Amino acid sequence: MSRAARITGTAIRSACRRTARRLAPLAAVAMIAAAPQALQAQEAGPRASDSPLARGAGATTSSDTVRLSAFFPPGALTLTGKTAQAGLDVTNRARLMTDAGGTALLFDELFGEPGGDRPVGEDVAIPVAGAGDKQDDGARYDAWGAKRNPGLAIGEVAGVNALIWFFNEYIRGGNFTSVNPRSWWFNISHGFFYDDNHFKTNMFAHPYHGSLYFNSARSNGLSYFESVPFAVIGSFFWECCAETHLPAWNDWVMTSLGGSSIGEMLYRAGSTFLDNERAGGSRTMKEIGNFFLNPMRGLNRLTSGRAARIYSNPADPYDRIPPNLSTFMKAGVRFIGDRSTSESFESDTTITTAFFEFDMNYGNVFDDTRRKPFDFFQMSVQLNFGDTETVGRLQIHGNLFTTDIAKGENSHHVFAITQNYDYANNTALEFGGLSYGAGFFSRFKMSETWTFQTNVNIHVYLLSAVNSEFAFVGGRPPNTERFREYDFGMGPGAWARFGFSHRGRQVAGLFYRFTFSETLNGSAVNGGNTHHTVQWGGFQGVFPIGRWGVGADVTAYVRRSSFEDAGFVDIKQNVGQFRFYGVFQSF
CA distances from 303 to 118, 296, 298, 300 (A): 14, 11, 9, 5
How distant is the alpha carbon of residue 381 from its chain centre? 13
Classify residue 1 as exposed, middle or buried by CB count within 10 Å of its CB (0-12, 13-18, 19+).
exposed
Which residues, 6+ apart, have CB-to-CB distance to 459 below 8 Å?
Answer: 418, 420, 435, 436, 437, 438, 492, 493, 494
For each of the domains in the chain, give its residue range(s) and CATH number, in order of start: 3-128 (no CATH), 150-312 (no CATH), 318-585 (2.40.128)
Instruction: Check if the beta carbon of residue 251 is closer than 8 Å to that of residue 236.
Output: no
Please tell me the distance from the alpha carbon of residue 450 to that of residue 440, in angstroms, as a whole number. Answer: 20
Cβ density class 149-188: b for 16+ within 10 Å, e for less: beebbbebbeebbeebbeebbeeeeeeebebeeebeeebe
Q: How does DSSP classify residue 169? A: I
Instruction: Check if the beta carbon of residue 559 is closer than 8 Å to that of residue 524.
Output: no
Please tell me the distance from the alpha carbon of residue 130 to that of residue 274, in angstroms, as a whole number. Answer: 15
Closest CA to 128 of 271, 313, 322: 313
Classify residue 444 as exposed, middle or buried by CB count within 10 Å of its CB (0-12, 13-18, 19+).
middle
Please tell me the distance from the alpha carbon of residue 507 to that of residue 331, in angstroms, as a whole number. Answer: 17
Please tell me the distance from the alpha carbon of residue 586 to that of residue 356, in angstroms, as a whole number. Answer: 14
Query: Residue 473 has what pLDDT?
Result: 67
Please tell me the distance from the alpha carbon of residue 538 to that of residue 512, in angstroms, as a whole number. Answer: 7
Please tell me the distance from the alpha carbon of residue 554 to that of residue 550, in angstroms, as a whole number. Answer: 14
Greatest Cα pair distance in the chain? 93
Instruction: Check if the beta carbon of residue 463 is closer than 8 Å to that of residue 484.
Output: no
Cβ density class 246-257: b for 16+ within 10 Å, e for less: bbbbbbbbbbbb
Query: Residue 568 has what pLDDT?
Result: 76
Instruction: Check if the beta carbon of residue 263 is closer than 8 Å to that of residue 295.
Output: no
Which residues, 6+ apart, have CB-to-CB distance to 134 below 8 Å?
Answer: none
Please tell me the distance from the alpha carbon of residue 271 to that of residue 501, in angstroms, as a whole number. Answer: 27
Please tell me the distance from the alpha carbon of residue 37 to that of residue 528, in angstroms, as a whole number. Answer: 74
Tell me the one-letter amino acid at 463. Answer: L
Per-residue pLDDT of the chain (587 residues; tens, 9 = 90+): 555 555 555 555 555 555 444 444 434 434 433 433 333 333 334 333 333 333 333 333 333 333 333 333 344 344 444 333 333 333 333 333 333 333 333 333 333 333 333 333 333 344 444 444 333 455 689 999 999 999 999 999 999 999 999 998 888 877 788 889 999 999 999 989 888 899 999 999 999 999 999 999 999 999 999 999 999 999 999 999 999 889 999 999 999 999 999 999 999 999 999 999 999 999 999 999 999 999 999 999 999 999 999 999 999 999 999 999 999 999 999 999 877 665 555 666 789 999 999 999 999 999 999 999 999 999 999 999 989 899 999 999 999 999 999 999 999 999 999 999 999 998 878 999 999 999 999 999 999 999 999 999 999 999 999 988 776 665 555 555 667 888 999 999 999 999 999 988 889 999 999 999 998 887 655 556 788 999 999 999 999 998 999 999 999 999 999 887 767 788 888 999 999 999 998 76
Please tell me the distance from the alpha carbon of residue 577 to that of residue 587, in angstroms, as a whole number. Answer: 28
Closest CA to 89 of 117, 49, 128, 47: 128
Cβ density class 234-243: b for 16+ within 10 Å, e for less: bbeebbbbbb
Please tell me the distance from the alpha carbon of residue 340 to that of residue 347, in angstroms, as a whole number. Answer: 5
